[in-house]
Chains A and B, each alone.
Chain A
């Protein structure tokens, strides 16, 4: 009898499939309870899902759950929702055990697994994902609990830990915006293919992490110098113009200038926006502004991860001398179909995402489009209306009657569209295809039909005059990239990427007068037309090789082909400037990361660039050092050399032409810029606070200033008036110190940042002495804070910055012109000899998260520039009756804004 029972038991045990820890975590359950005591719910779950709850009766005594309903979700997500607000925490353990603990003890109670380890000196690898959507999480931290060893996941979410002591260790897995998970290794667990899911349900965490362990096999605080990670989902809670904006949020960090209302580009450590390398899923983005820079061209619904390197960046990034922003797009929900939409006073957005091929593939499509709300028109007018409108007019009819004017209402809009397709074939390969398109169309044109007398009353006429004034600005980006990444084995990973990026910009300020007669037409065009088209074809092969626990290599190849066209015509007759730039840039890099003992990490790398326009090699050595004084304090230093082969010219005044255009360096007109970065810093971190300080010194050469002027040249019969571009070459030095104090944990958190900096340029054109650059800001102080009360989050930002420099007229003179009128001309001061008044503003926001059925929604209000401080954008001068008058022009005053977002899951 007993033997039969034993056999039966034995067979049953055999038949039960071995449950690995991850199977339990991936198990899906569904709950729907109204007003039930906790113990009954636990009993119900045990029966329905074959779970076993282990707990202290006192923990659940008297507790009831009012109302809870979920979809078919992974167990941890359901338990998080179930126990929210009850003070009950839990821990999962294979095969089906759920230990209930007091939530506040969660941190301290690390009960040993009670099992004997079977394997030692393991290699543990796997993937870290979002529990609900299945999105892989790049640059997440995986640490061995209680030690200073850990690693980070790569861009595909994969990680490998070498030399793990045994298979009962506890791993701490964390990622910005998600609850840290303590994952217990188990002797029966397949440690080569772990799937660790992190939950972001309702736990408020730090918005910004000034790099915790970011590198492979980091010794606790890593070699992340001048590096900041951001979670797009967290940025949603900070005040914005109405559209959650990643670049505007980056401007709230120390070292990044936050007082530029008319640019969403980044001024990092005294550098200009074109000196930043902006990568989106591998392709380079050349222009990041929508609506004249009020906010950036990135839809945060489509973005998963943001990494900003303020300086001293690795050998694998090249082509820019200031900073790198690496954006990783979302792959799409691999668990279920999801959709969402949102609306603000400026634009509407929507996205859909879904898995296909049984979760092996995912896709995501997200789009945004503006609509002509009053708010939009106010912003548009604030930018364009403030400049004088002075289209060239060459004919004025006598008197005014007899002409009819039909004006066309200006039409302006912007949109952007993101799409991504990802396919994971097997466990080693990931293929993805990413696409981006964004455009701004700002049309302020006016059309007036000045008809001959009688025309407005109908009837035909033999004569018709039509004057069309065009004032059109449009620009846009196209980008697409294809990526194939492969994890050859635990130590070797490669990523191959091919991408195409196109930036175009058009500025048309002209008027066309047409005189139509029965049999012929006279047309006279005058004005300016400017066109810039940049094509970037790029391939990149990146390899990561983990040689052993202490030694890690990165090496790769890169090539990019640029084709830039720039055209400037005036008055339809002369093509004043027409340049065509083409060139290849090839690069090879290698970088070794060495962990010395348990305290120091050294990174040494070399990058070599070959530029076909000059046919030269440019070598860039890069070194960095991190020294851990103890668990909380670390010292850091970095040095690097950087080159830039394409430069961007910015024009602030759009009446003069396009806002910006790109040119390739050729060492004759446009120089190759170069910079050296010297960085020194220290940081101190404990559970609740982070203190960070960094000093930088950045000498730069090959900077260019651009101006255009009509220059009479030649003499005698050969004289001519040429529209010439002047590229002045000069040097600069940027230096400064940044301080950051950040509160990392709790319902109230945020940071305070202060930067003391200076950036001076020296151009022979402007004199022998250095002058402060346009972006020079001596002091900048920022406070960013969020406070969460239940479902309501209050956010606030305060920025105070001393004024930037400007050049002003110091006098004027008059010249009588041949037509009898007098022309007034200004005499101008030394370059940037004056300072605008200090800039400061306070923004606040309130966001409410709530549910509509099973879907999530949030709505909120932002008050931008709360006390309506008139920050000077620029100054205008006029000569009236022999006196010089100065007017301050500000951009945005008090601006309220509303938004609403909804997602299906």
Chain B
């Protein structure tokens, strides 16, 4: 079908082009940005000296070099109330001041200048909570390799570690065997581990949660005999936030959690209490 144009129609065609001019054709320039943001890694443990602060630079997607760039020789200042110190760089991005002891219930600030911006962070070291354990010794039957244990014999009560947490803070637990050259509860594990670089000391770490107890089931959680040290760490919200899922997809990507201003990373205070559990052979 042939469309016959009339003057009216021609006018209409012009009219239809007019609105086009109202719209700017912008083209988004896709550039990869070479970012250079300082990353602080600082853990302040109550009662311990300030000996593990690290400052590095974030990896830029645009950068071909995949080596970690550390920032050394920065004038890093840490202060708390009227105490302050300039940290001493010891290489590889690490800084310390072994004379500066961290005290609980104090807040600590870090700051330094980078590229014209003041990079700062602030944290509070919480007070350690006294933890108690329901029993200090537990007897477990050793399972010989190849044997088929009687269910009744591995019936052990969970050992409960408890503390007060009316504030609803985050805690996590580390269980570590202090025994040298420990024996395994289940000898099949020993065989397995022996074939994989030799026996190591058992270590188990839970994830920070808002809780006030931790149940240790000797059979499920422990693999060795020996005196186990159970450390209950109290951590701050900014640390617990690191465990929250950061999206890895463009559906829901966002800036990661950090309590550093003009920078990235973590600056946080931790306190702890220790109880002991002796695991013996039945």
Interface string of B169-187 (1 = CB under 8 A from A): 0101010000000000010
Chain B's nearest CB lies how many Å from the CB of A801? 15
Give the segment of B74-82, B84-92, B111-119, B245-253 that binds chain A: B245-253
Contact B240 A710, beta carbon cutoff 8 Å: yes
Residues of A within 8 A of B3 (CB): 689
Q: Which of B95-103, B134-142, B257-265, B274-282 contacts A (4 or more CB under 8 A)?
A: B257-265
By Cβ-Cβ distance, the 9 closest A-B pairs, closest first, are A721-B237, A695-B19, A712-B237, A652-B251, A825-B256, A819-B205, A813-B58, A454-B151, A653-B251
Q: State the Cβ distance, B189 to closest chain A Cβ, in Å.
A: 6
Shortest A635–chain B CB gap in Å is: 8
- For B43, the chain A residues whose CB sits under 8 A away are 818
Q: 7 extra interchain contacts, Cβ-Cβ under 8 A, other than A716-B105, A819-B205? A: A630-B8, A633-B12, A684-B12, A710-B240, A814-B39, A827-B37, A835-B28
User: How many inter-chain contacts with C-beta < 8 Å in the A-B complex?
Assistant: 239
A655 to B253, CA, bound (A): 13
Do residues B220 and A395 form an inter-chain contact, with CB atoms below 8 A? yes
B39: chain A residues at CB < 8 Å are: 813-815
Q: Kindly provide the distance from the CB of B71 to the nearest chain A CB, expressed in whole angstroms.
A: 12
How many whole Å from A831's CB to the nearest CB in chain B?
10
11 A–B contacts from the bound complex (CB under 8 Å)? A392-B207, A398-B189, A399-B192, A454-B151, A465-B220, A709-B241, A709-B254, A710-B237, A721-B170, A818-B235, A878-B248
State in angstroms the CA–CA spacing of A688 and B3 once bound together: 10
CB of A874 closer than 8 Å to a CB of B: yes
Check: A108 CB closer than 8 A to any chain B CB.
no
Chain A interface residue count, CB cutoff 8 Å, equals 98
Residues of the B chain whose Cβ atoms lie less than 8 Å from the Cβ of A522: 158, 215
Confirm or deny: B149 has a beta carbon within 8 angstroms of a beta carbon on chain A.
yes
Q: When the two chains form the complex, which single residue of A390, A682, A814, A876 contacts B245, counting CB atoms closer than 8 Å?
A: A390
Q: How far is the CB of B28 from chain A (nearest CB, A)?
A: 6
Residues of B within 8 A of A826 (CB): 246, 248, 253, 256
Chain B's interface size range is 35 or more
- Do the beta carbons of A816 and B247 come within 8 Å of each other? no
Query: Which residues of B lie under 8 Å from residue A758 when comparing CB positions?
Result: 23-24, 26
> Is B194 an interface residue, CB under 8 A from the partner?
no
* A462–B56 alpha-carbon span in the complex (Å): 52
Highest count of chain B CB atoms <10 Å: which of A695, A737, A819: A819
**Distance (whole angstroms) from the CB of B235 to the closest CB of chain A:** 8
Inter-subunit contact B205/A721 (CB<8 Å)? no
Q: B215 → chain A, closest Cβ, in Å?
A: 6
Which of the residues A461, A693, A713, A827 comes within 8 Å of B35, measured between beta carbons?
A: A827
Q: Is A882 an interface residue (CB 8 A)?
A: yes
Residues of B within 8 A of A452 (CB): 151, 154, 219
Q: Closest chain A residue to B160 by CB distance?
A: A522
Q: Chain B residues near A808: list those with CB within 8 A.
A: 250, 253
Query: Which residues in B have their C-beta under 8 angstroms from that of A573?
Result: 168, 210-211
Residues in A with CB closer than 8 Å to B223 are: 398
Q: A399-B192, A876-B248 are in contact. Are A715 and B22 (CB under 8 A)?
A: no
- Cβ of A453 within 8 Å of any chain B Cβ, yes or no, is yes
- With contacts A394-B209, A717-B105 known, is A813 near B253, CB below 8 A? no
Contact residues in A for B15 (Cβ distance below 8 Å): 682
Report the bound CA distance from A758 to B22 in whole Å.
11
Q: Which residues 819-838 in A have Cβ within 8 Å of B in the complex?
A: 819-820, 823, 825-829, 833-835
Residue of B56, B189, B206, B255 with most partner-chain A CB within 10 A: B255
Beyond A682-B12, A817-B242, A819-B205, whether A772 also contacts B28 by CB under 8 A is: yes
Contact pick for B251, options A394, A736, A829, A874, CB 8 Å? A874
Task: Using known A-B contacts A715-B107, A818-B233, determine if residue A453 contacts B59 with beta carbons closer than 8 Å.
Answer: no
CB distance B254 to A707 under 8 Å? Answer: yes
Interface residues of B (CB under 8 A from A): 1, 3, 8-9, 12, 15-16, 19-20, 22-26, 28, 30, 32-33, 35, 37, 39, 41, 43, 54, 56, 58-62, 66-68, 105, 107, 122, 124, 126-127, 148-152, 154-155, 158, 167-168, 170, 172, 174, 186, 188-189, 192, 205-207, 209-211, 215, 217, 219-221, 223, 233, 235-242, 244-259, 264-266, 270
User: Which residues of chain A come closer than 8 Å to B207, judged between CB atoms?
Assistant: 392, 394
Flag if A697 contacts B22 (CB, 8 Å): yes
Pair B19/A680 contact, Cβ less than 8 Å: yes
Whole-angstrom distance between the alpha carbons of A809 and B256 in the complex? 11
Q: A574-B210, A882-B59, A882-B66 are in contact. Are A459 and B151 (CB under 8 A)?
A: yes
A39 touches B (CB below 8 Å): no
Contact A876 B249 (CB under 8 A): yes
Q: Are A684 and B59 in contact (CB under 8 A)?
A: no
Q: Are B23 and A736 in contact (CB under 8 A)?
A: yes
With both beta carbons as reference points, the residue of chain B lying nearest to A692 in the complex is identified as: B16
CA distance A711 to B255 in the complex (A): 12
Determine the chain A residues whose CB is within 8 A of the CB of B59 once the complex forms.
811-813, 882, 884
| A689 B1 Cβ-Cβ under 8 A | yes
- Chain A 391-411 interface mask (CB, 8 Å, partner B; 1/0): 010110111010000000000
Give chain B residues whose Cβ lies under 8 Å from the Cβ of A630. Answer: 8
Residues on A with C-beta less than 8 A from B35 are 810-811, 827
User: Does B250 contact A806, Cβ atoms closer than 8 Å?
Assistant: yes
Report whether B28 and A737 are in contact in the complex, using a CB–CB cutoff of 8 Å.
no
Q: With an 8 A cutoff between CB atoms, is A589 at the interface? A: no
CB within 8 A of B9: which of A462, A684, A697, A814?
A684
Query: Chain B residues near A462 (CB, 8 Å)?
Result: 151-152, 155
Using CB atoms, name the residue of chain B closest to A736: B23
Query: In the assembled complex, how far is the CB of residue B264 from the closest CB belonging to chain A, in whole angstroms?
Result: 6
In the complex with contacts A454-B149, A882-B66, A810-B33 CB distance below 8 A: yes
Is A455 engaged at the interface, CB distance under 8 Å to the other chain?
yes
Q: Mark A435-456, 1 if CB is under 8 A from B, else 0.
A: 0000000000000000011110
Q: Which chain B residues lie closer than 8 Å to A688 at the CB level? A: 1
B220 surroundings in chain A (CB, below 8 A): 395, 397-398, 465
Contact (Cβ within 8 A) A884 B61: yes
Check A653/B241 contact, CB under 8 A, given A682-B15, A737-B19, A825-B256. Answer: no
Residues of B contacting A825 with CB < 8 Å?
Answer: 246, 256, 258, 264
Residue from the list A739, A810, A820 in contact with B16, Cβ < 8 A: A739
- A165 within 8 A of partner (CB): no
Docked-complex contact A574 and B154, CB < 8 angstroms: no
With A454-B149, A574-B168, A810-B61 already in contact, the answer to whether A710 and B257 are too (CB < 8 A) is yes
